[in-house]
Structure 1
Amino acid sequence: MKRLFLVAALVLALAVPAIAAPPSQLNYGCGLGATVFKDGQANDSLLLQLVATFLNGLCGNGTFGITSGTSDCASPSKTASNDRLNEFAYRNLDDLARDIAAGKGETVTTVAVLLNVPVESRPAFYRNLQARFTEIFPSPAVETAHVVDAITTIAAQG
């Protein structure tokens, strides 16, 4: 009986409200727990945060949610296109540098397509790439990952 009382007391102690975070700063991530505890309800209690975290990890639904954009998880917007862009840039780095320097060309058009840049926005995209050439290609020995990161950053800025 004393053990049951001790467990109950421990659970109540953990349920005492902890430092509350705004709903936009969930301490327990996304997944089933985030779906069950909408609007950051679990931020009021350490116990509820632990339950939400457990539910997020249950059966890998948090991982699935991140991949699929479900269960209150934000879907990665550019994962597939970045993979294809990485592959393309790796195979065509010299041509890409030449076309970015010129502000036009087949490789920059392909990059625009891979990044889903609307047709009407492409001339401005090409000008932005050209204007920021030294940022994209800071040295002759630049890594492909740096080039792709710089290009995607410029594309995201519009």
Structure 2
Amino acid sequence: MKRMFAALLLGLFVAAPAFAVNKDNVGCGLGSMLMQEKEGLVWEIMATTTNGTSGNQTFGISSGTLGCEKPAKLAVREQLDRFVADNMDALAVDIAMGEGETLGTLAELALVEEGRKADFFAALQMNFDQIYPDGGINSVQVVDQITSVLERI
């Protein structure tokens, strides 16, 4: 049994160069970075295994590193979280009025199309009490509420 496994493994290493497969098969991650100049099935399997078992592919996707792209929605959410945290009071005033520079910046960060901005502003203003229910709300909760309103318009 051991000899059969060894023979199969040896056969893969010898035949691997004949299987130059598209590098897109393995995805992004540390394994892909380490094996990027290698060709063949065995190298792709090693890259895939490294990407999948060490958890680095998840890190790469969420951080936009290791040859991975960060999902647009995640990047937008991070920008919104940071902006709202830095502008809680000014944003509350602008939402209450249904206009303002802070609200305009929020719309741009949320990727609201130009033709939908007026509806976005009006929807936020109508839902002000939901977005800012009390003085104890934090910025993450505000973004959650704003996102909820944005999904409905």
TM-score w.r.t. the length of structure 2 is 0.58
Give the drift of 1:55. Answer: 8.2
Runs of 4+, deviation exceeding 3 Å: 58-68
Alpha-carbon RMSD across the aligned residues, in angstroms, is 3.6
Q: How many residue pairs end up in the alignment?
A: 116
The equivalent of 1:91 in structure 2 is 86
AA at the equivalent of 2:139: T
Give the Å deviation of 1:107. Answer: 0.8
What is the aligned partner in structure 2 of residue 119 from structure 1?
114
- What does 1:91-110 correspond to in 2, within 5 Å? 91-110=86-105
Out of 129, 134, 150, the position equivalent to 2:124 is 129
AA aligned to 1:105 is: G
The aligned amino acid for 1:97 is A
Q: Indicate how the Cα distance of structure 1 residues 81 and 101 shifts in structure 2: closer, same or farther if over 3 A, else same.
A: same
| Cα distance, 1:96–1:65 mapped onto 2, change above 3 Å | closer
AA aligned to 1:129 is: L
Q: Where does the alignment leave 5 or more consecutive residues of structure 2 unmatched? A: 3-24, 28-48, 65-69
Residues 10-25 of structure 1 aligned to structure 2 (within 5 Å)? none
Secondary structure in structure 2 of the residue aligned to 1:78: helix
Letter in 2 for 1:136: I
| Aligned residue identity for 1:154 | V
Deviation at 1:95, TM superposition (A): 0.8
CA distance in 2, matches of 1:83, 1:63: 15
1:24-103 correspondence to structure 2 within 5 Å: 57-58=52-53, 60-61=56-57, 63-64=59-60, 76-103=71-98
Contact 1:99/1:105 (<8 A) preserved: yes
Asked whether the 8 Å contact 1:99–1:108 carries over to 2, the reply is yes
Q: With structure 1 as the length reference, what TM-score do the two structures score?
A: 0.56
Kindly state the Cα deviation for residue 157 of structure 1 after the two structures are TM-superposed. 2.4
1:62 and 1:147, CA in 2 relative to 1: closer, same or farther beyond 3 A?
closer
